[in-house]
A and B are shown apart, each in its own frame.
Chain A
Amino acid sequence: MAEPTLAGPAVLRRSPLAHLEERLRAATVTGDRGVSLAEWPYITMVSVRAEPGSQAAARIEKALAADLPRVCGETTTAGPHTVLWLGPDEWLVVSQAEHPCLTAELAQALGGDPGSVVDVSANRTTLELSGPAAREVLEKGCALDLHPRAFGPGNAVATQVGPVPVILWQTDEAPSYRLFPRSSFADYLARWLLDAADEYARPEVTGEYARPEVT
Chain B
Amino acid sequence: MLLINCPWCGPRDETEYHYGGQAHVPYPGNPADLDDRQWAEYVFYRDNTKGPFAERWMHGTGCRRWFNVLRDTVTNEVLASYRLDEARPEPQQAAAQAGGPR
Contact = CB atoms under 8 A, between A and B. Distances in A.
Interface stretch (A14-22, A85-93, A105-113, A117-125): A85-93
A49 B73 CA distance: 37
Contacts of A143: 12-13
> In terms of DSSP, what is the predominant structure of the interface of chain A?
strand
B65 interface: yes
Interface extent on A, as a size class?
A: 10 to 19
Interface of B: 8-10, 12-13, 15-16, 60-65
Nearest to B10: A72
A158 B8 contact: no
Nearest to B63: A87
Contacts of B64: 86-87, 90
A90 B63 CA distance: 8
Contact of A160 (B9, B61, B65): B61
Contacts, number: 37
B62 A158 contact: yes
Instruction: Identify which of B8, B13, B62 gathers the most chain A CB atoms within 10 Å of its CB.
Output: B62
Contacts of B63: 72, 86-88, 90, 158
Interface in A141-169: 143-144, 157-160, 165
Top 10 A-B pairs, shortest CB-CB distance: A87-B63, A72-B9, A143-B13, A165-B61, A158-B62, A160-B61, A72-B8, A88-B8, A87-B64, A87-B65
A84 to B, nearest CB: 12
A31 to B, nearest CB: 33
A179 to B, nearest CB: 13
Given A72-B62, A73-B9, A87-B63, 18 more contacts: A72-B8, A72-B9, A72-B63, A86-B63, A87-B8, A87-B65, A88-B8, A88-B63, A143-B13, A157-B9, A158-B63, A159-B12, A159-B16, A159-B61, A159-B62, A160-B13, A160-B15, A165-B61
Nearest to B6: A72
A159 B59 CA distance: 10
Contacts of A159: 12, 16, 61-62
A75 to B, nearest CB: 15
